Amino acid sequence: MDLSFSPEEEAFRREVQAFIAEAKPKLPQDPGGEGHVASKEDYLAWHKLLYKRGWVAPLWPKEYGGTGWNVTQRYIFNEEVANADMPTTLPFGLNMVAPVIFTFGNEEQKKKYLPRILSGEDWWCQGYSEPGAGSDLASLRTRAVREGDHYIVNGQKTWTTLAQFADWIFCLVRTNPDVKQQEGISFLLIDMKTPGITVKPIIVLDGAHEVNEVFFDNVKVPVENRIGEENKGWTYAKFLLVNERSGIAGVARSKKQVERLKEIARAETLDGKPLIQSDDFVRKVADLEVDLAALEFTELRTLAAESKGQMAGPESSILKIRGTEIQQRLTELTLEAVGYYGMPNEHGFGANEYVGPDYALGAAGRYFNMRKTSIYGGSNEIQRNIIAKAVLGL
């Protein structure tokens, strides 16, 4: 595989770097310590700068506001954003529900929802997981009963990320309980201001309010808010999950975190020597870098196939498994490197002030938070089952 870049691609890289250098001072600085959740405007600041430049939706078709970038340009952009420690754009609208809408939605739905997702006017959250229906998503029980031109929705969703800020939620609901589980599900778009919706916070181990429970009590949803056909929502849900899993890999940001880990290891000492001189620690970092390089090549092959019109299939499951495992190993090694400085810096554990070097800030919080990555988007155990069926024919 030729990984060299053409003069045109290097010129594009310089264009991205110049844009980032101009944009970074306009972004809010870290507004708080561990356990803090930024405001809605904090999250949207980078989104709006990208939107103004026309760069907010690299994965969208150009006709709906996408960039028209090729695979290499997308790769360069992601790499430069990670290198500059820029924030990520939230995936729920841009990368999850929007592709479902422009692929399966009707023209009225495309005109109504896509421009407001692109501009950041509408904030979306995801209504998939339920108590007892996470990895076994097809067993969901949130019920939608049709009454004329509306559905009446009752049930509960959980682990709903940043639902406290959301304007809309895309939901899987059961519209036919008398057929095979996967065949009785529909895909609804629900306005979060609708009467009967209650959002309750779930406070996680690092003390942050990031996820929520969402309750539906006789919520009235217009039938026109259904994507595609009734009882065909499982098809649209699987399409969305393939996009989500591919994006979870996070190769560019993991590469940046490896460099940060090495910097910490140069500063920390063990038996009077920098940790980076420990044979055992260096071996762990080297193993991680080898796995990350292999993941990067897998991602590049997947992107190259997509550029030729091929849909990602089991490859997305491979990217999800290895990407999340690497992210978890990175946080484990970082916590190992900072040692006893990790724990006191967590507000969620009752700390009143930070102790130790700045690079130890948040190490424990990130470690605990990253435990979730091997679960969301479909647990890694489920992904292995998908690979066994699709690749090995088991």
Cα(354)–Cα(107) distance, integer angstroms? 53
In a domain, 295, yes or no: yes
Q: Specify whether 130 is located in the same domain as 169.
A: yes
298-311 pLDDT, tens digit each? 887 777 666 666 66
104 belongs to a structural domain: no
Same domain membership, residue 203 and residue 266? no
Distances (CA, A) of 381 to 186, 356, 394: 25, 38, 15
Least confident range of 144-148, 211-215, 346-350, 389-393: 346-350
- Residue 380 shares a structural domain with residue 340: yes
Question: Is residue 200 located within the same domain as residue 266?
Answer: no
Answer yes or no: is 261 within a domain: yes
Q: How many CB atoms lie within 10 A of CB 191?
A: 15
Instruction: State which of 3-17, 110-124, 129-143, 291-305 shows the largest mean pLDDT.
Output: 110-124
Residue 340 inside a domain? The answer is yes
Count the Cβ atoms, other than its own, within 10 Å of residue 390. Answer: 13
Q: Are the CB atoms for 151 and 145 separated by under 8 Å? A: yes
Are residues 262 and 324 located together in one domain of the fold? yes
269 and 384 belong to one structural domain? yes
**What's the pLDDT at 35?**
42
Same domain as 272, residue 217: no
Sequence-distant (6+) residues with CB within 8 A of 29 are none
Residue 33 — pLDDT band, cuts 50, 70, 90? very low
Same domain, 49 and 149: no
Co-location of 53 and 83 in the same domain: yes
Most confident of 75-79, 316-320, 368-372, 381-385: 75-79
Task: State the CB neighbour count (10 A cutoff) for residue 229.
Answer: 12
- Residue 172 three-state SS: strand
Residue 166 lies in a domain: yes
pLDDT (tens digit, 9 = 90+) per residue, 239-255?
A: 887 766 566 778 889 99
129 and 74 within one domain = no
- pLDDT at position 310: 63
**Is 227 a domain residue?**
yes
Active site residues: 244
Q: How many C-beta neighbours within 10 Å does residue 26 have?
A: 10
Exposure string for 276-306, b = 16+ CB within 10 A, e = fewer: bebeebeebbeebbeebeebbebbbebbeeb
Whether 101 is in a domain gets the answer no
- Segments forming the whole domain that contains residue 260: 249-390
| Percentage of the residues of the chain whose pLDDT score is greater than 90 | 61
Same domain, 383 and 259: yes
Query: 332 and 289, same structural domain?
Result: yes
Final residue in a domain of this structure, among 171, 197, 232: 232
Tell me which of 26 and 314 has the higher pLDDT: 26
The residue among 175 and 42 whose pLDDT is bigger is 175
Q: Structurally, how many domains does the chain consist of? A: 3
Q: Single out the residue in 199, 232, 265 at which a domain terminates.
A: 232
Two tokens, residue 58: 């690299």
- Residue 165 belongs to a domain with what CATH number? 2.40.110.10
- Among 72, 89, 106, identify where a domain stops: 89
Look up the pTM and report it.
0.86
Least confident of 147-151, 209-213, 316-320, 324-328: 316-320
Give residues with Cβ within 8 angstroms of 254, minimum separation 6. Answer: 292, 295, 323, 326, 327, 330
pLDDT of 245 reads 58
- The answer as to whether 294 is a domain residue is yes
